[in-house]
Chains A and B, each alone.
Chain A
């Protein structure tokens, strides 16, 4: 029995999953009607649906971040890329048809990722510093595109992406699932996953085995850039506007947290897309919970931090060992 328990509790997905379930339970008892789902005009509504809808931009960015972190990197420019691409799409929509605007936003995301990748792979700048550049400059670029104003979007088709419903569910959910599945398939059906985990775990050995770190760095930052662009489109279409200053603000922190809660180590190596999915859902549910049980806004960050620390501690094998040992000692003392 205890062997069985230990096996389970050591699984990377156990603790984030347990935390998510716990959080949902708390919501069940404190917020009346939390699990209530109604159907209006054939569309599903309710807190759960709302969480699933809102989590998508975070999820998509966190998926890109997972790959970056697996390769021992970090990308803190995702929020800025989100803002740039949102602004780009919004401004192009005024003069060009929808597909062009979307394609343009994606290409901009790709270029941003390429820029990060080149700085890190070829100029050997540390990932944190390299992406810090775009993080700070990016908001300025977004400002330039929007001309310093909040651009409003007036395009029903575009707005459908972030606000519409398909078969009862918000359309964004399908996009999130699609991105998740594509990356999962790429992980399983190409050697990308193997090479990333190999480099993240031992760069020298990987190099000796013929894997080119530079190429892998480029690939992951480009993917992260494109993911940020998708999030940019989702966010701007959801609120029908592009706000250079506030769109995607601090989303990099939530994304990194989602990845870490999901069991991927900041030191690189093994990565867990399923874990990231749970991590992102956890963060979003937490935000919603904090908001709906009426914690004062200025306390939000503190509460979030405490919860996240708790989850991370439970995940750490060392910490669990400490607890087990101290409870064991107690038992011995009592006996």
Chain B
């Protein structure tokens, strides 16, 4: 072992019933480097991180921190040793405030009592300086979007880190600008000699930020590489274990298939304090994108359409029928589907199996007494496990035990199983690996070709540009413009967003 190695793992193995999640994996993080951990969904990245930080007990292997053997038994112990971690599934306290979450257990004190004012001030400064976000830190965490929750977790980890910082898919719900801000922070920590482990399915980010890459496949170590000596195609080939050539993303859509008829039409739908009036229509077979930055109102619009939030104004028409008061059950009956952005709290039902999770929406469409026979359930589950390449030993596995990306695929299957006429997809490829991401994009285009309407929301503007026939642009909870056909490009979307500042202000005046 050389003197600049910081965190070294040797021969780590970890098994779960029916799965060998890690077999004999070596990993080494050096001082002052950013080290990416790469692999397909279910390759074992999060498992390795959980073993390193004491959340999971390893079956075999040793861990060394600065050349001395450690074996942390809990995340707290790892933290005391100087390893701070942002886990893939953010585990903060939803009903505490943002500030409390950041300073829990190390609250600033005055005369033996918690100094709330100081705590709020420090939290505000921290978020502003490190990540450039300004929010009310007194509000509960649950009142904020996934992105803000993720950033709170990052801020907390960054603030407490002393030797090693581990970030498991920290950027999955962030926009470009937040990612850049995070990268600045990471570079700064790196220059101070810290080691950072970074996981992301965005290849661009990995190539931009990391010095070294370790690739895992099926729980096995494939190798450790210098980033500068690796191409994208080489990296992905190592991840999937066969030759990979990145397809061009320019496969534009076939506007010809779009029907003339509107499937859904919305006039002035709004919810005070959450979203200003929206006007939109979606034709059969059309892929409509909602683009905007963080907090622009994309998810809010989707929730209004699906009846999760009640609107206070406006009309909603589905196939010429006016809907007075929408709710999810009615929406499903009318042929809508909604794949939500927040997988953990709005998507998975943790205790249920993969099969049961896939059945929920279809079962509520058919009604409680029209139970889907087990045989049919199994057939459906089998179909989607194969179609979306979900990695699991068994469809009767609890969904909780799946890797993040695979959970996402199950939720997507839940909605595909209902054969929707309009599928609302809020960040459907979040946390999904590159191969499956392209599969899902293809699936979206295939569905549209069959006449299914798609409302597509993604923070990845390239993805929006590649898939959509039309894009509606939002900013600060206002609908500010629209792009169609050839005009859709990342550049034009960004331009519209920045021009939109004027539109938004003029409304306020």
Q: Which residues on A are within 8 Å of B, measured CB to CB?
A: 189-192, 194-195, 197-198, 201-202, 204-212, 269-270
Contacts and interface: CB of A to CB of B under 8 A. Distances in A.
Interface string B320-341: 0000000111011000001010
Q: Which of A195, A205, A212 is packed against the most chain B CB atoms within 10 Å?
A: A205
B371 A198 contact: no
B360 interface: yes
Given A208-B338, A209-B364, A210-B361, A189 B371 contact: yes
Contacts of B348: 202, 205
Contacts of A201: 349-352
Contacts of B372: 191
B73 to A, nearest CB: 10
A205 B346 contact: yes
A195 B368 CA distance: 8
A199 to B, nearest CB: 9
B79 interface: no
A285 to B, nearest CB: 30
B368 A206 contact: no
B350 A202 contact: yes
Interface in B354-393: 356, 359-361, 363-365, 367-372
Contacts of A208: 308, 328, 338, 340, 346-347
A198 B353 CA distance: 10
Interface of B: 308, 327-329, 331-332, 338, 340, 345-352, 356, 359-361, 363-365, 367-372, 414
B331 A207 contact: no
Given A191-B369, A194-B363, A205-B349, 9 more contacts: A190-B368, A190-B371, A191-B364, A191-B370, A198-B352, A198-B360, A208-B328, A209-B364, A210-B331
Smallest CB-CB A-B distances: 5 pairs: A210-B364, A209-B360, A201-B351, A210-B332, A269-B351
Given A201-B350, A270-B351, A192 B332 contact: no
A194 B369 contact: no
Contacts of B363: 191, 194-195
Contacts of A202: 345, 348-351
A189 B368 CA distance: 10
Chain A interface SS verdict (over half): helix
B356 A194 contact: yes
A205 B345 contact: yes
A207 B368 contact: no
A210 B329 contact: yes
A191 B371 contact: yes
A211 B360 contact: yes
B419 to A, nearest CB: 14
A206 B356 CA distance: 12
A207 B309 CA distance: 12
A206 B370 CA distance: 18
A123 B2 CA distance: 66
A95 B349 CA distance: 52
Given A209-B414, A211-B360, A197 B368 contact: no
Among A204, A209, A211, A212, the most chain B Cβ lie within 10 Å of the Cβ of A209
B351 A212 contact: no
Nearest to A205: B349
Nearest to B368: A191
Nearest to B366: A191
Contacts of A198: 349, 352, 356, 360
B351 A207 contact: no
A320 B414 CA distance: 36
A197 B346 CA distance: 16
Nearest to B340: A208
19 contacts: A190-B368, A190-B371, A191-B364, A191-B367, A192-B368, A194-B359, A195-B363, A197-B352, A198-B356, A198-B360, A204-B346, A205-B347, A206-B349, A209-B414, A210-B329, A210-B360, A211-B360, A212-B329, A269-B351
A197 B399 CA distance: 14
Nearest to A189: B371
B19 to A, nearest CB: 15
B165 to A, nearest CB: 30
Contacts of A269: 351
Contacts of A195: 363-364, 368
Contacts of A209: 328, 349, 360-361, 364, 414
B325 to A, nearest CB: 13
Nearest to A6: B17
A261 B372 CA distance: 31
Contacts of B347: 205, 208
Contact of B345 (A192, A197, A204, A270): A204
Contacts of B331: 210
A202 B350 CA distance: 7
A80 to B, nearest CB: 29
A269 B352 CA distance: 8
A208 B329 CA distance: 8
Contacts of A212: 327, 329
A206 B360 contact: yes
Contacts of B345: 202, 204-205
Contacts of B368: 190-192, 195
B346 A210 contact: no
Contacts of B308: 207-208
Nearest to A210: B364
A270 B328 CA distance: 24
A212 B333 CA distance: 13
Nearest to A265: B351
A63 to B, nearest CB: 19
Contacts of B361: 209-210
Contacts of B370: 191
A269 B399 CA distance: 14
A190 B328 CA distance: 21
Nearest to B360: A209
Contacts of B338: 208
A20 to B, nearest CB: 25
Contacts of B371: 189-191
A197 to B, nearest CB: 6
Contacts of B359: 194
A271 to B, nearest CB: 11
Nearest to B367: A191
Contacts of A192: 368
Nearest to B363: A191
B330 to A, nearest CB: 9
A197 B356 CA distance: 10
A197 B351 contact: yes
A191 B372 CA distance: 8
Contacts of B340: 208
B409 to A, nearest CB: 16
Question: Which residue of B332, B346, B365, B414 has the most chain A CB atoms within 10 A of its CB atom?
Answer: B346
A205 B407 CA distance: 13
A202 B94 CA distance: 14
B216 to A, nearest CB: 26
Contacts of B364: 191, 195, 209-211
A322 to B, nearest CB: 13
- Looking at A190, A192, A270, which has the most chain B CB atoms within 10 Å of its CB? A190
B344 to A, nearest CB: 9
A198 to B, nearest CB: 5
Q: Which of A192, A198, A206 has the most CB of B within 10 A?
A: A198
